[in-house]
Structure 1
Amino acid sequence: MQKDCPECGEKIIGRADKKFCSDYCRNAFNNKLNKDSKNLVRNINNRLRKNYRILEELNPKEKTKTTKSRLISKGFDFQFFTSIYTTKAGTVYYFVYDQGYLPLENEYYALVKRNS
């Protein structure tokens, strides 16, 4: 039984369970299949990376304080974070990987680094 490559239509030679004629066709087929979801993931990862770099730049000594306007001026996006940590007292920290921030009064933020 002859099978054709779903990407380019060429005859497949080799193992009986082979689905594509080459690695190129396999990759091209799967990239087309996952294109929309990959763009979403790529955009979110780019925002998380940018937020992480901003927190890391503003918090070189693992604990500091900054303003909301300073974060925003550097391009920080408060909608993107990787986890939330709530203390026993009910204080809520937002983390981008190991860099975190805590909203304080008067639009100030405490920046912290989580020790691993």
Structure 2
Amino acid sequence: MRFHKECLNCKKLLVGRTDKKFCDPQCKSAYQYQIAKEQPERFYDKVGNQLKLNRKILKEYNKGGKVTVRAEVLNEIGFNPSFFTHYWKNKKGDVYLFVYEYGFLKKVEHGSDKFILIKWQDYMKK
């Protein structure tokens, strides 16, 4: 007894096993991709995507090893300082937040928010 007489993706007539749902692997893949797209984004996917975006932004703006950038510039392109992987505290007590190997410290200079961007160095190991 055949339950699915046509491919769930392309609607072509199925030939072969009675429990067959797709005509080929490409249709199965396309169908599963479409179903996954319709699902709400999972929490871990949101976190991972934001970390990737933060790293990309920090890498792009930190070409010199240590750079100061206005916070509004980074925030406008999607940077979210609430997402980071680890932190490092320097001898002065400043806590740099890191997204993998790129770090940032939020400072207020002359009334405007800025980020000091750095790259992880060997001396920062504990």
Class of the TM-score when normalised by the shorter of the 2 chains: 0.5 to 0.7
Aligned to 1:101, the other structure's residue is in SS state strand
Q: Is the alpha carbon distance of 1:9 and 1:50 closer, same or farther for their aligned partners in structure 2, counting shifts above 3 Å?
A: same
Task: Give the distance between the partners of 1:84 and 1:68, measured in 2 at CA.
Answer: 20
Contact 1:3–1:11 (CA under 8 A) maintained in structure 2: no
Q: Is the alpha carbon distance of 1:12 and 1:3 closer, same or farther for their aligned partners in structure 2, counting shifts above 3 Å?
A: farther
Aligned to 2:13, the other structure's residue is in SS state coil
Moved beyond 6 Å, runs of 4+: none
Q: Which structure 1 residue ranges, 5 or more long, are not aligned?
A: none
Compare the two structures and name the one with the higher helix fraction. Answer: 1
Report the identity percentage.
23
The number of residue pairs the alignment matches comes to 111
- Specify the alignment match of 2:107 in structure 1: 104
TM-score, with length taken from structure 1? 0.60
Contact 1:51–1:77 (CA under 8 A) maintained in structure 2: yes
**Cα distance, 1:99 vs. partner?**
2.1
Q: Is the alpha carbon distance of 1:90 and 1:115 closer, same or farther for their aligned partners in structure 2, counting shifts above 3 Å?
A: closer
Deviations 1:14-73 (A, max 9, x none): 6x876522012201220221013487859x73x655544432232112222222234346
Aligned to 1:10, the other structure's residue is in SS state coil
- The CA RMSD measured in Å over matched residues stands at 3.8
Task: Give the distance between the partners of 2:108 and 2:73, measured in 1 at CA.
Answer: 15
Q: Which structure 2 residue ranges, 5 or more long, are not aligned?
A: none
Task: Give the distance between the partners of 2:68 and 2:27, measured in 1 at CA.
Answer: 52
